[in-house]
């Protein structure tokens, strides 16, 4: 018997869910439809760093989710036959200017490595060592190299996952949809019913759930980054990602392309306009580490909208009192790290049902979702 599943949102969670719904056992009996108009999507604007191990977050549930998300990547990339231009374990360098801070960072890395084989090797680097690894840096800082760290192009990853799923059982509809009070998807062609609906629409989740009398505790955050044309060093596609102390992240993608950013702007709502002052700030960060870079080297500015909760933690799973729906939101700036694991788990739940226990990764969903009639 054919089962119909809808996905609302084609970012990292929705795309990964669609991919697994096309590959998991039993997927041959599924018909999957994904709805997304693409406007403001955080993933499409993102260039991510997959390296959660040295995070100072105290939320252990988030850390386990992020760690497992990083561990999932190599298998996902292999199975989906995605190339190194999209994802590559180039290593991650996290810098600290002061020697005592560098020692604290190293101790943290050694401790985290005990339960995180995916970290790979840990190497302490002098400023000169950092420059040898990333020669485009002209003002490097000493740091720690984590060999298992990676970089990923969010838009390219989503495109590849969705293209793979389209070859099997996925149909994509490029439109913005809403939900009805009786759990139908309201489309431009009328209301459609599905056996299960995965709602992975980021900061737009709040509006989508309103007709169901559900209030989602989630807010938008604007993020901007810039692309720069820099000197194309030999083997630049293998240069490590750099997370410099006090500066924006540096993500070399090879062929002379450098990504710098992104910002975290809490007071801009769903605004998608690139701002000259923010672009100048991102460029200034680049100029402090890369000599000779000017505004003429900016080739693109990307803007997207992330979703955040008050405790900065993501949530996902079956929607309480609405068993047909599964939801995910609040991934924040770590969406490209945690998103694939969340998408995989939601796909399994949508396909096989049951009452999954994901308490190792998150607080109960009712922490973030409440009934409007009880508010």
The yes-or-no verdict on residue 27 having pLDDT over 80 is yes
The yes-or-no verdict on residue 119 having pLDDT over 70 is yes
Query: Is-contact 41 338, C-beta < 8 A?
Result: no
The rounded Cα 152 to chain-centroid distance in angstroms is 9
Structural domain of residue 235, as residue ranges?
A: 92-148+220-308
Beta strand 87-88 pairing with 150-153: antiparallel
Q: Between 163 and 373, name the one with better pLDDT.
A: 163
DSSP assignment, residue 240? P
Listed in sequence order, the residues at least 6 apart from 138 whose beta carbon sits closer than 8 Å to its beta carbon are 131, 289, 290, 291, 292
Tens-place pLDDT, residues 31-56 = 999 999 989 888 888 888 999 999 98
Q: Which of 40, 1, 35 is nearest to 18 (CA)?
A: 35
Instruction: Decide: helix, strand or coil at residue 59.
Output: coil
Which CATH number fits the domain that encloses residue 320? 3.50.50.60
Tens-place pLDDT, residues 53-64 = 999 888 999 999
Tens-place pLDDT, residues 75-92 = 999 999 999 989 999 999
Residues 293-318, mean pLDDT to the nearest whole number: 96
Which CB contacts under 8 angstroms, 24+ apart, belong to 176-181? 176/35, 176/37, 176/39, 177/8, 177/35, 178/207, 178/208, 178/211, 179/8, 179/208, 179/209, 179/211, 179/212, 179/325, 180/211, 181/211, 181/212, 181/213
Same-domain pairing of 163 and 265: no
Same-domain pairing of 208 and 351: yes
Q: Looking at the domain assignment, is residue 236 inside a domain?
A: yes
Q: Looking at the domain assignment, is residue 83 inside a domain?
A: no
Same-domain pairing of 212 and 290: no
What are the structure tokens assigned to 342, written together?
A: 């969340």
Same-domain pairing of 197 and 329: yes
pLDDT band at 354 (very low <50, low <70, confident <90, very high): confident
Q: Looking at the domain assignment, is residue 54 inside a domain?
A: no
Count CA atoms within 13 Å of residue 87 on its CB side: 24
The yes-or-no verdict on residue 375 having pLDDT over 60 is no
The yes-or-no verdict on residue 374 having pLDDT over 80 is no
Q: Looking at the domain assignment, is residue 328 inside a domain?
A: yes
Listed in sequence order, the residues at least 6 apart from 132 whose beta carbon sits closer than 8 Å to its beta carbon are none
Instruction: Decide: helix, strand or coil at residue 153.
Output: strand
Q: Which of 316, 311, 43 is nearest to 200 (CA)?
A: 316
Q: Looking at the domain assignment, is residue 86 inside a domain?
A: no
CA 112 – CA 290 distance, rounded (Å) = 31
Question: In the prediction, which pLDDT does 361 show?
Answer: 98
Question: In the prediction, which pLDDT does 372 show?
Answer: 75
The length of the chain, given as a count of residues: 375
The yes-or-no verdict on residue 235 having pLDDT over 70 is no
pLDDT band at 237 (very low <50, low <70, confident <90, very high): low
Question: In the prediction, which pLDDT does 162 show?
Answer: 98
Q: Looking at the domain assignment, is residue 62 inside a domain?
A: no
Same-domain pairing of 226 and 137: yes
CA 131 – CA 128 distance, rounded (Å) = 5
DSSP assignment, residue 305? E
Question: What is the model's pTM?
Answer: 0.95
Percent of the chain whose predicted confidence (pLDDT) is above 90:
88
Q: Of the candidates 308, 337, 362, which is a domain's last residue?
A: 308
Question: In the prediction, which pLDDT does 254 show?
Answer: 79
Task: Report the mean per-residue pLDDT for the chain.
Answer: 94
Q: Of the candidates 285, 308, 331, which is a domain's last residue?
A: 308
pLDDT band at 6 (very low <50, low <70, confident <90, very high): very high
The rounded Cα 179 to chain-centroid distance in angstroms is 25
Query: Is-contact 239 233, C-beta < 8 A?
Result: yes
Tens-place pLDDT, residues 100-116 = 999 999 999 999 999 99
Which CATH number fits the domain that encloses residue 117? 3.30.9.10
Same-domain pairing of 135 and 181: no
Tens-place pLDDT, residues 124-174 = 999 999 999 999 999 999 999 999 999 999 999 999 999 999 999 999 999
What dihedral angle (degrees, nearest 10) is formed by the CA atoms of 95, 73, 85, 164? -160
How many structural domains is the chain composed of?
Answer: 2
Same-domain pairing of 105 and 160: no
Question: In the prediction, which pLDDT does 56 show?
Answer: 87
The yes-or-no verdict on residue 24 having pLDDT over 90 is yes
Tens-place pLDDT, residues 249-289 = 999 987 889 999 999 999 999 999 999 999 999 999 999 99
Q: Of the candidates 274, 308, 342, which is a domain's last residue?
A: 308
Q: Looking at the domain assignment, is residue 50 inside a domain?
A: no
CA 196 – CA 3 distance, rounded (Å) = 8
């Amino acid at each position: 018997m054919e089962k119909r599943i809808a996905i609302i949102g084609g970012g990292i969670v929705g795309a990964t869910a669609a991919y697994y719904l096309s590959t998991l056992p039993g997927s041959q009996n599924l018909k999957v439809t994904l709805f997304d108009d693409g406007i403001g999507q955080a993933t499409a604007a993102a260039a991510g760093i997959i390296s959660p191990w040295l995070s100072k977050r105290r939320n252990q549930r988030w850390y386990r989710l992020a760690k497992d998300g990083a561990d999932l990547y190599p298998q996902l990339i292999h199975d989906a036959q995605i190339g190194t231009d999209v994802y590559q374990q180039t290593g991650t360098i996290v810098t600290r200017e002061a020697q005592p801070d560098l020692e604290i960072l190293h101790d943290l890395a050694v401790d985290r490595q005990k339960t995180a084989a995916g970290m790979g090797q840990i190497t302490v680097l002098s400023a000169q060592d950092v420059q040898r690894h990333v020669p485009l840096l002209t003002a490097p800082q000493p740091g720690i190299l984590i060999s298992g760290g990676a970089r990923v192009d969010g838009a390219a990853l989503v495109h590849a996952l969705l293209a793979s799923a389209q070859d099997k059982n996925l149909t994509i509809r490029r439109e913005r949809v809403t939900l009805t009070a009786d759990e139908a998807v309201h489309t431009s062609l009328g209301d459609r019913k599905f056996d299960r609906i995965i709602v992975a629409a980021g900061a737009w989740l709040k509006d989508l759930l309103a007709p169901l009398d559900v209030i989602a505790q989630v807010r938008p955050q604007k993020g901007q980054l810039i692309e720069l044309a820099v000197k194309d060093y030999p083997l630049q596609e293998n240069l490590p990602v750099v997370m410099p102390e006090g500066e924006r992240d540096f993500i070399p993608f090879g062929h002379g392309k450098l990504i710098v950013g992104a910002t975290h702007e809490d007071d801009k709502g769903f605004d998608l306009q690139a701002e000259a002052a923010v672009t100048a700030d991102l460029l200034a960060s680049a100029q402090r580490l890369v000599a000779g870079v000017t505004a003429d080297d900016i080739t693109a500015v990307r803007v997207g909208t992330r979703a955040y909760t008050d405790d900065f933690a993501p949530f996902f799973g079956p929607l309480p009192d609405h068993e047909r729906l599964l939801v995910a939101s609040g991934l924040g700036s770590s969406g490209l790290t945690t998103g694939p694991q969340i998408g995989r788990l939601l796909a399994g739940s949508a396909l096989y049902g049951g009452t999954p226990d994901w308490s190792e990764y998150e607080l109960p969903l009712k922490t973030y979702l409440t009934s409007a009639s009880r508010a």
